[in-house]
Amino acid sequence: MGAEPILEMTSITKTFPGVKALTNVNLSVMPAEIHAVVGENGAGKSTLMKVLSGVYPAGTYDGTIRYDGKQRHFTGIADSEATGIIIIHQELALVPLLSIAENIFLGHETARFGVINWHEAHARTNVLLKKVGLVENPHTLITNLGTGKQQLVEIAKALNKSVKLLILDEPTSSLNEKDSDALLALLKEFRTQGISSILITHKLNEVLKVADRITVLRDGMTVDTLDTSTARVSEDRIIKAMVGRELTDRFPPRDAKIGDVKLEVRDWNVYHPQHADRQVIKNLSLSVRAGEVVGIAGLMGAGRTELAMSLFGRAYGQKITGEVRVDGKVVDVSSIPKAQKAGLAYVTEDRKTFGLVLIDHIKHNVTLANLPAVSNASVIDDPAELAVAQKYRKDLGIRCSSVFQTTVNLSGGNQQKVVLSKWLFSGPEVLILDEPTRGIDVGAKYEIYGIINALAESGKAVIVISSEMPELLGISDRIYVMNEGRFVAEMPARSATQEAIMRAIMKSWEN
Amino acid sequence: MTDAVAPTPTTSVMTFVKANIRDYALLLSLITIMVFFQMATSTALRQQTFADALMLVLTSPIEVFRNGILFTPLNMTNIILQNSYIVIMALGMLLIIVAGHIDLSVGFLSGLIGAIAGVLMVTNPFWPVEWKLGTFPTIGICLLVGAAIGALQGMFVARFLIPAFIVTLAGMLIYRGLMIFMLSGRNLGPFPDSFQAISSGYVPDLLAFMAPPGINLLAIVAGAVVTALILLSNWRGRRIEHAHGMADEPITLFYARNGLIAVAILGFSWIMSNHKGLPNVLVTMFALVALFMFVTTRTTFGRRVYAIGGNAKAAKLSGINTERVTIMIFAIMGALAAFAGLVYAARLNSAQPKAGAGLELDVIAACFIGGAAVTGGVGKITGVVIGAFIMGVMNNGMGIMGVGIDWQQVIKGAVLMLAVFLDVYYKNKS
């Protein structure tokens, strides 16, 4: 492999307002190479690929991209696609109600003067499908295909555009083992034809199966590039590079007084709301004690949010079965009001979509989940409501001009505090916090940790879902590790490490 | 936060007006339009060339204004009667638009209810059964039928997630067909006097024994009482806000605003007292407006409607039964459309197969002129009432001026477009 790299990204730095997403990242891909890019959630993998494909156009980042022997300044996806860089996203970009052939030629129709030649399109689709090993009629609608086959259609679409560098973002995350193996075999096949691939994945066993080289990102920096042909690379070696972060985040001291079991969930099963045959949560059981903070760790797509939302009044999923007990008594959580009555509260990971009425002010948002508490016979007691809003503004330190400030104008941290206020005011016994510190600054994070501590101290049971492992290790008493709809490990936070969590996830994929 | 430190409002009048331009612009538009039509309909300008008329307006505006027709007692009463059913339906339509939906069926639903009232009360040669029901049972049945039809529409929207546009479009066609069927395509009337009184009756002047001749004292007293109540409640609201350090409306503006309200209501009641006093429909309409202001601003139900329109997902996840609330607002709309249909039929003194045609457009236009947002979550009852009267005064004024129905439509369309454009323009600017 003495040839010149087909792609060389040098010193890529990308800054968003307030956040440095990438710092001097280097990535080089040789011709006919399968190159894996690995890293934790938020390590910068997707951002790097967006820089490469022109989603972030030249000029919005620093550093240089050399591709196919020339320096490139891509201004958009169309620009990079024209040179043979094709990216296939985690969420597939197919139109469900169009056929395979229509999707493959979408935007590149085999047309003369706007009139499509369907015979040619179908003939060429058959050739492409053969190349990716998919036996389907070109007329079949995408919606009638499984995820694995849809993935193959995406790749066929890429081949149609004479691809030189194929980028796959988490291609196997929703595939079963057989489909995954077929896909990886296809990448190897492409390698013999001289097509390079960049494979972004969490599944290290797959990386070791196919990758020639591995680039590890951590916190927006390149920490390692491993060559599987020259060195014996093990999963442990990669994990160490991925999580080698110091526990620099500070956490308020925590003195847990843990009581009796508060929440108990037994044999919880949930199916996907649209695909009734896809089981999202598989026979899962958990328990949380009063005064305890329990963390749930896992990678994107592990089913953590789905678990939380299905518990909270079946806000997610269908065909839900299982038993929920609060303080030892079986409770009905079949609707959101019932779940609230049972003492549950769920603070969403997506505060803008599910948490706040953004066009309304703080006061109205704080009381929204518990209006009866500030009203008599359905008439709102204005002074009482105002007092509630002022109380939470003070208790949680919401920084605003007044409680009449519209929530859309608040910073992320203060928005999060408003959502927290809303759920604290609903008087729950069990709080499920989903990514409570996502997208907020360090100072506000520390304040949120303090609030979580205070909640636990007041005897509530708290569940924290987070993708930031140091955070989970810092604030929890106990950690469940989740993968593919199951808890694959449970460990006391005191003795847990990031490596141990990652290893548990990787191990669960192997068997 | 516990101390009632009331900071003296430092906001200047201009910055405050700029920040609340939408509210003031609406009121000012209505006043401008009223003044314009008062001048334009003036008898002093009759048979004048355009240049002479313009000259007259510039040289002796007061003379022109005094001879206007718009503010005459008879015409003011007419404006109220002509627009009452629009205002009544706009109250319900605001709830629906705030919740992020639309109801196209209200026009023909009101017409259908008028037809039902006709069939229930009047001898109909084309109908197999004769009921001859009294006024009050008829009103009760009609309101219930309206609410039930609305609830049914709401159920399709909320439970089966069919867009309200489709559901109510289908409803519009169905009600229109049923209405024509029930009336066999003919007018049905006349109604008994007690039914007609819904629209054309006046509240008897209980104070007539001490009133000067030709003056309805009750109207004046009622106007004074209402003015006092509004000023009192505004003053109380301001004091509460002040106690929490929230009042940011400059005091001069507060006085100016309340002074304007007082002048408007007292002046209006004076005008009404010079005709036949308070029409029944005015009193009912006023009560409904007050009720809906209360419901939208002070009750948990109102709050939930705004929350659903602002962010339906967040509202649902906050434990709000969005399905039930949606069904309820459509049921309320149905009942109001029914009531409007009764007012309309009573006014024409017959159930007509063309009744209600196109009313839904005036109602929806009133909401959007009044500042309701197409995206939901935003809108005020005061805005909608002003919006309805902007449309009503324009209809009336252009009618008196003899503007053809063709150009009336063009002008009304342009005003709607302009109002919404300005709304969006100022929103993007801020």
Q: Summarize pLDDT for A421-441 with one digit per residue, the tens.
A: 999 999 999 999 999 988 777
Please measure the distance between the N-terminal and C-terminal CA atoms of chain A and give it in whole angstroms. 34
Q: Distance between CA B42 and CA B199 in Å, rounded?
A: 28
Q: How would residue B147 be classed by pLDDT, with cut points 50, 70 and 90?
A: very high
Burial of B28 from C-beta contacts in 10 A (0-12 / 13-18 / 19+): exposed
Three state DSSP letters for B47-71: CCCHHHHHHHHHHCHHHHHHCCCCC
Residue A397: name the closest of A453, A464, A446 by CA. A446
Kindly report the average pLDDT of chain B as a whole number: 89
Q: Chain A: give the shortest CA distance to residue B318, in Å.
A: 5
Q: What confidence score (pLDDT) does residue B136 get?
A: 93
Please give the residue of chain B at the shortest CA–CA distance from A420.
Answer: B318
Q: Chain B: give the shortest CA distance to residue A346, in Å.
A: 8
List of chain A residues whose C-beta atoms are within 8 Å of the C-beta of residue B321: 337
Highest mean pLDDT among A156-170, B129-143, B197-211: B129-143
Q: Distance between CA B119 and CA A473 in Å, rounded?
A: 75
Residue position matching structure tokens 């689709």: A125
Residue position matching structure tokens 């009905």: A332
A426 with B240: Cβ contact below 8 A = no
Q: What confidence score (pLDDT) does residue B7 get?
A: 43
Q: For residue range B222-251, list pLDDT tens digits in order.
A: 999 999 999 998 888 888 777 766 666 788
Q: Distance between CA B312 and CA B321 in Å, rounded?
A: 10
List of chain B residues whose C-beta atoms are within 8 Å of the C-beta of residue A379: 298-300
Burial of A202 from C-beta contacts in 10 A (0-12 / 13-18 / 19+): buried
Query: Which of B299, B311, B316 faces A336 most closely, judged by CB atoms?
Result: B316
Q: What confidence score (pLDDT) does residue A241 get?
A: 82
Q: Chain B: give the shortest CA distance to residue A25, in Å.
A: 39
A213-218 and A34-38 beta bridge pairing: parallel
Contacts of residue A70, Cβ cutoff 8 Å, sequence gap at least 6: none
SS3 of residue A456 by DSSP: helix
Answer whether the bond into residue A470 is a cis peptide, omega within 30°.
no
Query: Which of A315, A336, A386 faces B244 most closely, judged by CB atoms?
Result: A386
Q: What percentage of chain A has pLDDT greater than the value 70?
A: 97
Mean pLDDT of A200-228: 88
Residue position matching structure tokens 């008062």: B38
Q: Distance between CA A453 and CA A462 in Å, rounded?
A: 9
Q: How would residue A284 be classed by pLDDT, with cut points 50, 70 and 90?
A: very high
Write the CA distances from B51 to B2, B32, B45, B48, integer angstroms: 65, 22, 11, 8
Q: Distance between CA A398 and CA A347 in Å, rounded?
A: 17
Helix (H) or strand (E) holding A9: strand A7-16
Q: What confidence score (pLDDT) does residue B8 get?
A: 43
SS3 of residue A321 by DSSP: strand
Q: What confidence score (pLDDT) does residue A162 get?
A: 81
Kindly report the average pLDDT of chain A as a whole number: 88
Which candidate in B306, B308, B316, B318 is best for mutational testing of the A interface (most A CBs within 10 A)?
B318
Q: For residue range B320-360, list pLDDT tens digits in order.
A: 999 999 999 999 999 999 999 999 999 999 999 999 998 99
Which candidate in A340, A371, A382 is best for mutational testing of the B interface (most B CBs within 10 A)?
A371
Highest mean pLDDT among A112-116, A403-407, B308-312: B308-312
A461-465 and A430-434 beta bridge pairing: parallel
Q: Distance between CA A219 and CA B302 in Å, rounded?
A: 47
Report the complex ipTM.
0.84
List of chain B residues whose C-beta atoms are within 8 Å of the C-beta of residue A357: 306-307, 310-311, 314-315, 377
Mean pLDDT of A394-411: 87
Q: How would residue B153 be classed by pLDDT, with cut points 50, 70 and 90?
A: very high
Q: How would residue B2 be classed by pLDDT, with cut points 50, 70 and 90?
A: very low
Question: In this structure, what DSSP letter does residue A371 have?
Answer: G
Q: pTM score, two decimals?
A: 0.83
Least confident interval from A272-281, A312-321, B104-113, B396-405: A272-281
Q: A368 and chain B: CB distance < 8 Å anywhere?
A: yes
Least confident interval from A46-50, A244-248, A479-483, B17-21: A244-248
What type of residue is A151? Q
Q: A1 and chain B: CB distance < 8 Å anywhere?
A: no
Q: How would residue A245 be classed by pLDDT, with cut points 50, 70 and 90?
A: low
Mean pLDDT of A489-507: 90
List of chain A residues whose C-beta atoms are within 8 Å of the C-beta of residue B311: 353, 356-359
A358 with B316: Cβ contact below 8 A = no
The answer, yes or no, to whether residue A330 has pLDDT greater than 50, is: yes
Q: What confidence score (pLDDT) does residue B245 get?
A: 65
Number of Cβ pairs < 8 A linking chain A and chain B? 80
A196-200 and A461-465 beta bridge pairing: unpaired
B298 with A380: Cβ contact below 8 A = yes
Q: What confidence score (pLDDT) does residue B328 get?
A: 97
The answer, yes or no, to whether residue B43 has pLDDT greater than 80, is: yes
List of chain B residues whose C-beta atoms are within 8 Å of the C-beta of residue A394: 1
Q: How would residue A249 be classed by pLDDT, with cut points 50, 70 and 90?
A: low
B298 with A372: Cβ contact below 8 A = no
List of chain B residues whose C-beta atoms are within 8 Å of the C-beta of residue A355: 314, 317
Q: Chain A: give the shortest CA distance to residue B194, in Å.
A: 35
For residue B157 the two structure tokens come to: 């929207």
List of chain B residues whose C-beta atoms are within 8 Å of the C-beta of residue A434: none
Cα B367 from chain centroid (whole Å): 9
List of chain B residues whose C-beta atoms are within 8 Å of the C-beta of residue A375: 299-300
